[in-house]
Structure 1
Amino acid sequence: MFDDDCLMTSQVNTISKSAYFALFRISKIRNLLDRATTEKLIHAFVSSKLEYCNSLLVGIPQNQLSKLQSVQNAAAKLISRSRKYDEVSPILYDLHWLKVEFRINFKIMLFVFKILSGHAPHYLSSLIERYVPGNHSLRSGDLNIVTLVRTDKHKKTKENPRTTTKRYGWRAFFVVAPFLWNELPRSVRKSPNLVTFKSGLKTFYFKKQFNL
């Protein structure tokens, strides 16, 4: 569901409602379940809803993001049998879960890695490209950083006076993806394969989330 203002309010509300209903049903049988089984049910019926097409939620307003984070917090507390007002950060740490915002960024970064590896559809690979410095002797050329592909429709003209960021904001994939990618450690950006990349990316966001 898309809103006229592209804030994804309807989508967030739908996800939250559906996920809370699933949590309610699982909570009714929680006393009959061990932790491992509860976690599997949470992943199948709650986390999957938060993950589905979550890259579309990048850059949504904080109040919308908080709704989804509240769902994840409730899910974590149900798994750990914690009370409603218990601090959630230690629980997320124990579960080794990334918060919703970082899960969204994680998905965006997977797309970028696949683009740079030549395994992404053209409609995505045409949006960003590797940065090639004008002076090829510069070390920045070996950093594996990316930049927005500038096309006629992205340029400022009389017919289209708005710049890319003013028109699409930080929610646009081709705007936010280079920003998120270029802040990753060089070791993560230079990962030799997807498995290594995902592991390094998870570690980077996990440490960032908990200020480690």
Structure 2
Amino acid sequence: MTSQVNAISKSAYFALFRINKIRNLLDRATTEKLIHAFVSSKLDFCNSLLVGLPQNQLSKLQSVQNAAAKLISRSGKYDEVSPILYDLHWLKVEFRINFKIMLFVFKILSGHAPHYLSSLIERYVPRNRSLRSGDSNNVTLVRTDKHKKTKENPRTTIKRYGWRAFSVVAPFLWNELPRSVRQSPNLVTFNSGLKTFYFKKQFNL
């Protein structure tokens, strides 16, 4: 995974270098379009495979995004990046990865995902169907033999088996979402609610 992160970073920085060469000829809107086309697209491509990256690897990708944001805003190298990300309404790399994972889960629960993903999680059905949690649209881990007998809480399970497995991380992240987001009636509403939730979480709003 280190080689993949390095390749993404190298390619994205090269794109930033080329855009920076002509930045004085561009207005902000055009610069932002170029960044989305040649930098953000590299960070987002198959980014669900990057879930659970060690912090040092995640920081490399975040540095790329920070540089892109500062290029758009014409900020200095040492300027605080958080206000810039807020102004751009950008999610940080980690939240963009989580966003993609949650998009897959929504499609699974909506019946619009391939079987190889659909078989990894299932909707939670409480033993007592009268419980309010029954209509909360939670999901549960489809346990393999390796997980079957554990009584660990989700956080401990993640530490033991790692964030890298979709079947482990997806239910954990999904069940942390507000009920209103999990119960979104369609993809457009879900995307909007999910973006708002992660944006507020990122900036402690």
Shared topology, TM-score over 0.5? yes
The superposition leaves residues 21-40 of structure 1 with CA deviations (integer Å, 9 ceiling, x where unpaired) of 00000000000000010000
Deviation at 1:171, TM superposition (A): 1.5
TM-score between the two structures when normalised by the length of structure 1: 0.91
Say which of 194, 200, 211 aligns to 2:204: 211
Q: Which runs of no fewer than 5 residues in structure 1 stay unpaired?
A: 1-7
Over the matched positions of the two proteins, sequence identity in percent amounts to 93
Change (3 A) 1:157 1:99: closer
Retained in 1: the 8 A contact 2:123–2:138?
yes
Q: TM-score, normalised by structure 2?
A: 0.94
Query: Are the counterparts in 2 of residues 59 and 171 from structure 1 also a CA contact under 8 Å?
Result: yes
Q: What CA distance in whole angstroms lies between the structure 1 residues aligned with 2:40 and 2:118?
A: 28
Q: Give yes or no for the alignment of 1:111 onto 2:89.
A: no
CA distance in 1, matches of 2:152, 2:97: 34
Give the Å deviation of 1:67.
Answer: 0.3
Matched position secondary structure for 1:154:
coil
Q: How much has 1:152 moved relative to structure 2?
A: 4.3
Q: Where in structure 1 do 4 or more consecutive aligned residues deviate above 3 Å?
A: 151-168
The two structures, once aligned, show a CA RMSD in angstroms of: 3.2
SS of residue matched to 1:170: coil
Q: What is the aligned length?
A: 205
CA 1:157–1:97: 2 relative to 1, 3 Å: closer
Distance 1:190 1:45, change over 3 A: same
Contact 1:154–1:163, Cα closer than 8 Å, also in 2? no
Indicate conservation of the 8 Å contact 1:155/1:163, yes or no: no
> 1:62 offset after TM fit, Å?
0.3
Q: 1:161 to 1:190 in 2, by over 3 A?
A: closer
Question: Out of 139, 145, 154, which is 1:161 matched to?
Answer: 154
Query: Which has the higher relative contact order, 1 or 2, with Cα contacts under 8 A spaced 6 or more apart?
Result: 2
With over 3 angstroms needed to count, the CA separation of the structure-2 counterparts of 1:95 and 1:159, relative to structure 1, is closer
